[in-house]
Amino acid sequence: MAHVTSETRPPAVAGLFYPADPGELRAMVEAYLAEAAARLPEGTPVPKAVIAPHAGYIYSGPVAATAYAALAPARGRIRRVVLLGPSHRVPFRGIAAPGAAWFETPFGRVPVDREAIAEILELPQVQVLDAAHAQEHSLEVHLPFLQAVLGDFALVPLVVGDATPQEVAEVIERLWDGPETLIVVSSDLSHYLDYDTARRIDAVTARAIENLQPEAIGYEQACGRIPVNGLLWAARRHGLHAHTMDLRNSGDTAGPRDQVVGYGAWLFH
C-alpha cells in the first residue's frame, strides 16, 4: 500500500492500471502514441487544455493517447502541467493539493510546483490533503503519458472532492498563465451501461463539451464532471474551442459490451 511521504508520492497503481516495469510501460505508451499520431489531423495545433480518461491502459490508453499525441510539438515548451481529477477513495470538501515535493512513476520522478500550490492555497477551497492523493489513480495514470511526450515539466496535481465547478474554474484561472502551462482534466464518461446506451449518452456529453455547456453535464455522464465543468467555465471565459478527438468505450477496446465505461479525448485551443 502506497503512502505519501513529505518528499515523494510513490506510484499506487503501477502493476495494476499500467505496467510497473519501465521498459514494458514505455513500449505500451509509445505504441499508443504512435497509433494516435498516425490518426492526428495534419496541422492540429498544440492545445492549451485536454480532457483524457483514467482507466487501466488496456481500456482507455488508446483514447488518452489521442489527446497526448497532439502535445508532441510542444516538448520543451510546456514547462508546467496543471492536472485535475476526481477523488475516487477519500471524501472531502474542496480541492486537495499534495504535501509531496515529487510524484514518482516507473519513468522517474516529476517535481511538484510548490510555488504554484502556495499561490492557490490562498483560495479557501484549496487545502493540502495527502490522504486524497495516496491511492488516487485519476491523476497518476496520466503521468507516464506526460513524461513520454513532454520530457521535463513541473506538476500541479489537484484532486477534486466536493467542490463547485466555479471553485475549480477559479483555481484554473489562477494558474492559467501562457503556452508554457498545460491544463489536463481527468475523467471517464458513463459507467456500466450497455454498449448502445453508453454510446448515446456519451455522444450527448461530447456535444456539451464541444459547446462549452457545463450546465449540461451531470454526475451520471462523467465521473470527473466537476473538474470537467470547471474547465468548461474557464475555457468559455478565455474564448477557447473544444474538439472531440476520440470517443469510445471499453466495449471497443478490451471489455464486454453488456456493461461498459465510456472514454473520450478533447483538445481545447
Residue 255: phi and psi, rounded to 5, are: -140, 175
Structural domains in the chain plus CATH codes: 8-268 (3.40.830.10)
Cβ–Cβ < 8 Å for 103, 137: no
pLDDT along the chain (269 residues), means of 10: 67 98 99 98 97 98 98 98 98 98 98 98 98 98 99 99 98 98 99 97 98 94 97 98 98 95 98
Closest by CA to 78, choosing from 201, 155, 179, 220, is 179
| pLDDT at residue number 219 | 84
| pLDDT at residue number 4 | 47
How many Å apart are CA 171 and CA 153, to the nearest integer? 19
DSSP character string of 113-157: -HHHHHHHTTSTTEEE-HHHHHT-HHHHTTHHHHHHHH-S-EEEE
| pLDDT at residue number 2 | 45
Residue 127: phi and psi, rounded to 5, are: -140, 160
Measured CA angle at 120 (ends 215, 1), to 5 deg: 90
User: DSSP secondary-structure letter at 18?
Assistant: B
3 state SS of 214? helix
Closest by CA to 31, choosing from 75, 67, 62, 68, is 62
| pLDDT at residue number 6 | 64
| pLDDT at residue number 152 | 98
